[in-house]
């Protein structure tokens, strides 16, 4: 069942979202070659707490960190550790927060120093796919309209979208119904209604979209070793324009 939120609940989610968005901006500005990914994790926890929220990923199904840091062929759920970022890497930072009982979830992919034109285009395409998905999120549209918008945007630029991981409803729980695939048919799926809160998260690959999970049981990588990028916003369906709750 898709849970419809009241205006008051959306207002609380807006605060959770602002905090996630703000902290991601800070982390983005700190990413540089030579740093360990766990430094970003420490920074994420400190900044989220400073703003009065809690990071939501730590302990979620046993996830060991506050932030997901996924590099190059890693798509999502990378665990920050001693790994050092190199010039030319692309790194996805995925952060969830809880504020007064409500969740937010957001991600960005950023280049480390100077990156290849191919990597830059992948990042721009993934961000564009998210923007296009959000633009389809109107009341009385269907969920499949969002999925199809994301898929068409990415595929029309020559990329593939991950099929095995999806966006999701969000609220008091990080993962609520519905699942939001990054592929689908326009006009299919549930009707969108004011008060729905959705985490849209295109994961876009240069090569094939098939994935595998590495030995740490968390990090999802492309099966073919190709680059992948990931962007995510938590949004609310309103009477008119969708509201991006994790925008800064
Ligand atoms: Mg998510």
Per-residue pLDDT of the chain (248 residues), as tens digits, is 999 999 999 999 999 999 999 999 999 999 999 999 999 999 999 999 999 999 999 999 999 999 999 999 999 999 999 999 999 999 999 999 999 999 999 999 999 999 999 999 999 999 999 999 999 999 999 999 999 999 999 999 999 999 999 999 999 999 999 999 999 999 999 999 999 999 999 999 999 999 999 999 999 999 999 999 999 999 999 999 999 999 99
Give the architecture-level CATH label for domain 7-236.
Alpha-Beta Complex (3.90)
pLDDT of the residue at 148: 98
Which residue, 74, 78, 92, is CA-closest to 31?
A: 92
- Gap between the terminal Cα atoms of the chain: 30
Q: Which pair of structure tokens corresponds to residue 179?
A: 């699942």
Residue 232 CA, ligand 1 centroid: distance in Å: 7
Residue 162 CA, ligand 1 centroid: distance in Å: 14
pLDDT of the residue at 139: 96
Residue with tokens 């807006």: 14
106 bridge partner residues: 95
pLDDT of the residue at 200: 98
Report the alpha-carbon distance of residue 136 to residue 21 in Å, rounded. 21
Sequence-distant (≥ 6) Cβ neighbours of residue 32 within 8 angstroms: 85, 112, 113
Report the alpha-carbon distance of residue 112 to residue 71 in Å, rounded. 10
Rg (CA), the chain: 17
Residue 32 CA, ligand 1 centroid: distance in Å: 25
Which residue, 238, 139, 130, 239, is CA-closest to 190?
A: 139
Residue ranges covered by each domain of the chain: 7-236
pLDDT of the residue at 153: 98
pLDDT of the residue at 185: 98
Q: Which pair of structure tokens corresponds to residue 60?
A: 């979620």
Report the alpha-carbon distance of residue 54 to residue 16 in Å, rounded. 9
Residue 147 CA, ligand 1 centroid: distance in Å: 15
Which residue, 144, 197, 189, is CA-closest to 173?
A: 197
pLDDT of the residue at 60: 95
pLDDT of the residue at 186: 98
pLDDT of the residue at 116: 98
1 bridge partner residues: none
Residue 44 CA, ligand 1 centroid: distance in Å: 16
pLDDT of the residue at 174: 97
Taking every pair of Cα atoms in the chain, the longest distance, rounded to a whole number of angstroms, is 48
Residue 98's SS3 state is strand
Residue 201 CA, ligand 1 centroid: distance in Å: 6
Residue 200's SS3 state is strand
pLDDT of the residue at 33: 98
């Amino acid at each position: 069942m898709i849970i419809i939120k009241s205006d008051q609940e959306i207002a609380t989610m807006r605060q959770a979202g602002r905090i996630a968005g703000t902290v991601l901006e800070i982390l983005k500005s700190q990413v540089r070659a030579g740093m360990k990914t766990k430094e970003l994790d420490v920074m994420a926890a400190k900044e989220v707490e400073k703003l009065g929220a809690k990071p939501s990923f730590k302990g979620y199904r046993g996830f060991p960190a506050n932030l997901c840091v996924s590099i190059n062929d890693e798509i999502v759920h990378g665990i920050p550790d001693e790994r050092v970022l190199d010039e030319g890497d692309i790194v996805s930072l995925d952060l969830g927060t809880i504020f007064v009982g409500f969740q937010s979830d957001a991600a960005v992919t950023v280049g480390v120093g100077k990156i290849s034109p191919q990597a830059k285009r992948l990042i721009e395409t993934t961000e564009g796919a998210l923007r296009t998905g959000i633009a389809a999120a109107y009341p009385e549209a269907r969920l499949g309209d969002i999925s199809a918008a994301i898929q068409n945007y990415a595929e029309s630029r020559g990329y593939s979208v991950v099929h095995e991981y999806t966006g999701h409803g969000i609220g008091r729980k990080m993962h609520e119904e519905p699942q939001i695939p990054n592929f689908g048919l326009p006009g299919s799926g549930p009707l969108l209604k004011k008060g729905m809160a959705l985490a849209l998260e295109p994961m876009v690959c240069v090569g094939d979209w098939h994935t595998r999970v590495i030995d740490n049981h968390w990090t999802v990588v492309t099966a073919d070793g190709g680059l992948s990028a990931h962007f995510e916003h938590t949004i609310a369906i309103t009477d008119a324009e969708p509201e991006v709750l994790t925008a800064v």
